[in-house]
Amino acid sequence: MLRDLKTRLAGAAAVTVVTGAGISADSGIPTFRGNDGLWNKYRPEELASPEAFARDPRLVWTWYNWRRELIAAKQPNPAHHALVELERRVNTFRIITQNVDGFHSLAGSQSVSEIHGNIWKVRCTQCGRVAANRDVPIAVPPCCAVCRGLLRPHIVWFGESLDPGELRQSHDALRDCEVLLIIGTSGVVYPAASFGAVAKARGAFVAELNRDPTPQSDLVDAAIHGAAKDLVPELLD
C-alpha cells in the first residue's frame, strides 16, 4: 500500500496534506483524544470554549501558558521536515493543519493553512486585532496594545467559526489536488473530518497515515498505520 502511494505521489503535480495532533506527537506534544490525550485530563468545555473564557479568562490563560511553555521547548520532527521536502518536489502543494503549534512553518513549509489558529497569536476581544505574541508566560490577563481590551488566544474553539479565508484556501486545495494525505488526526472534528470525502469526490487519491484506525479509514483509498515520524519520511525514499 505504501508503494502504491509512493508511485502516486511521484507522479502527482498537486498534493494536499491535512494534519492533526498525531504529527506533533512524535515531537512530544500531547494529542487531544486517546489515553494520553489532553481531553482525558482536562474538560474542553472548561478550558477551550468561549463560555469558559468568558467565565474565567485567568484559568484559560493559565492553561494556555502551560501549553505555550510545552510547545516552546519542543521542535518539529522528521515528519514535519519530510513535508518541507515534499513541497519542494511538487508543483502545487498545501498543508491544511488543525494544529496550533506552528511547527509546519517552523520546519520551513511555505503553504500552510492553520484552520484552528495559532497558539503564538492573540486576538483582542474588543477591537479584533490579531497580533503575534511569543511571551512564555504571557502576562495574565493580557491586554491589547491599541485599545486595552482583553486578549484571547487566536485559536478556534468548539462552536466557533473557522476563518473564511483559510477555509476558502483549504477548499481550493482539496478541489485541485491529485493526492490527499491525511496525517495524524482522529478524523472526528468538523469541518476537517470531511476533507477526505471532499477530495475523494473530486477524484483525488486519498491516503490516511495514522497510528490507529479512525472513522475515516474505511473511506480512504489507502489507510497506513504507524508513527508519522517513520511513515512520512518513507514516502520520499
| Residues near Zn ion (CB under 5 A) | 124, 126-127, 129, 144, 146-147, 149
Task: Give the nearer residue to ligand BJW in terms of CB position, either 91 or 161.
Answer: 161
| Non-local CB neighbours of 196 within 8 Å, separated by 6+ positions | 18, 180, 182, 187, 206, 208, 216, 219, 220
The interface with ligand BJW within residues 76-95 (CB under 6 A) comprises none
- Judged on CB neighbours under 10 Å (0-12, 13-18, 19+), 58 is exposed
Min separation Cβ 18 and ligand BJW, Å: 9
Residue with the shortest CB distance to ligand BJW: 22
Rounded CA-CA distance 155/234 in Å is 32
Rounded CA-CA distance 39/189 in Å is 13
Partner in contact with 147, chosen from Zn ion, ligand BJW, none, beta carbon below 5 to 8 Å by kind: Zn ion
What does the per-residue mask of binding to ligand BJW show for 205-224, with x meaning CB under 6 A? -----xxx-x----------
Asked if residues 153 and 117 have their Cβ atoms less than 8 Å apart, the reply is yes
Rounded CA-CA distance 111/121 in Å is 18
Q: Which residue has the cell 482536562?
A: 42
Applying CB under 6 A, among 136, 189, 197, 198 the residue interacting with ligand BJW is 189
Active site residue 116: yes
Instruction: Count CA atoms closer than 13 A to 66's CA, side-chain side.
Output: 9
Partner in contact with 127, chosen from ligand BJW, Zn ion, none, beta carbon below 5 to 8 Å by kind: Zn ion
Partner in contact with 149, chosen from Zn ion, ligand BJW, none, beta carbon below 5 to 8 Å by kind: Zn ion
Active-site residue identified among 116, 154, 171, 225: 116
Applying CB under 6 A, among 22, 76, 102, 196 the residue interacting with ligand BJW is 22
DSSP assignment letter at 95: E
Catalytic center residues:
116
The footprint of ligand BJW (CB under 6 A) covers: 20-22, 25-26, 31-34, 37, 48, 98, 100, 116, 155-162, 184-186, 188-191, 210-212, 214, 227-228
